[in-house]
Structure 1
Amino acid sequence: MTKYEVEAVATVVGGHTRVQDDYQGGVQSRIRFNEAYPLETLQGIEEFSHLTVTWHFHLAQPEDVQLHARSPRGNTQWPATGTFVHRNHRRPNQLAVSYPRLLGVDGRDLVVTELDAVDGTPVLDVAPYFEQMGPRGPIHQPAWPGEMLATYWLDSSQRP
């Protein structure tokens, strides 16, 4: 297999302090860029409402990877689906993509909300979200993701 070496461009600071499946909303955090990048690399980003953030599940272990079909969250009411049908740390490269709302820019920090990564998470890439680069045409999916994620973006202060 071809291997690629990447370095984190930033780190998540603040926000969620532990990994949880649901109640991800209402939490602010910062994406703090490494000092190696000049401030001008962020010039103009404040004009965008949302970002595309690629990050690494840094708290996961290589042995967490599961290359087989299984029911999401272990719930047998949902169908067993393959590794590349899940969006969690059990993927081979343990990468995630999130679309947080950009609240502001403070030097090397992007102040965001709705970022479902925890404090200390390495950020591999950040780009503005372009509406024109989103899905084209009608979107369809089975019922189980909507059922599974019904409480995902509820405000964290409502967590039982």
Structure 2
Amino acid sequence: MEDDDWGMVEAEIVLDPARFDAEALAGLDAFSHAEIIFLFDRVPDGKVETGARHPRGRKDWPRVGIFAQRGKNRPNRIGLTTCEILSVEGTCLRVRGLDAVDGTPVLDIKPVMSGFSPRGAVCEPDWAREIMADYW
């Protein structure tokens, strides 16, 4: 499927030099992972979902609301992925596992801190585990 096999994808996030210098990424290299928040800027208005749908159009999975899935056709068009940090050099962050197409605008970068991880068990339906089987 078109949205699978992102795990080995390496990407560079280069900060806008008009707004940032290397100090903006200082210390990020001490972390193993970063959360990358980005904009699904290529989703046309007519494709935005506000209600329920079958994830990936699969009728064997239940219809669930857009906020109960992580599809790109979101009303706010915001994506979030936890990526492995490969390197930080100047204003360039190299990551692995970013599931965004080349040129996608990055809105924010946040280090992954264990203190922000879920407290307690994480529950999810079977279809959600199945959808991720080949994603990474």
Shared fold (TM-score, shorter chain, > 0.5) = yes
Q: Shift of residue 133 of structure 1? A: 0.4
Q: Which amino acid aligns with 1:121?
A: T
Number of residue pairs matched by the alignment: 135
| Residue among 136, 143, 146 paired with 2:129 | 146
Structure 1's consecutive aligned runs of 4 or more residues displaced over 4 angstroms after TM superposition are none
Once residues 29 and 91 of structure 1 are traced to their aligned partners in structure 2, the CA distance between those partners, rounded to angstroms, is 23
**Structure 2: runs of 5 or more not aligned:** none
TM superposition shift of 1:38: 2.1
Normalization by structure 1: what TM-score? Answer: 0.81
Which residue in the other structure is 2:37 paired with? 54
- Higher strand share goes to which structure? 2
2:67 aligns to what? 84
1:94 aligned onto 2:77? yes
Paired-residue identity, % = 39
- After alignment, is 80-89 or 42-51 more displaced? 80-89
Choose from 26, 32, 35 the match for 2:14: 32
Contact 2:37 2:78 in 1 (8 A): yes
Q: Is the 8 A contact 2:35 2:112 kept in 1?
A: yes
Deviation of the 1:83 alpha carbon:
1.3
> Is residue 38–residue 105 contact of structure 2 (8 Å, CA) maintained in 1?
yes
Matches within 5 A, 1:1-40: 20-35=2-17, 36-40=19-23
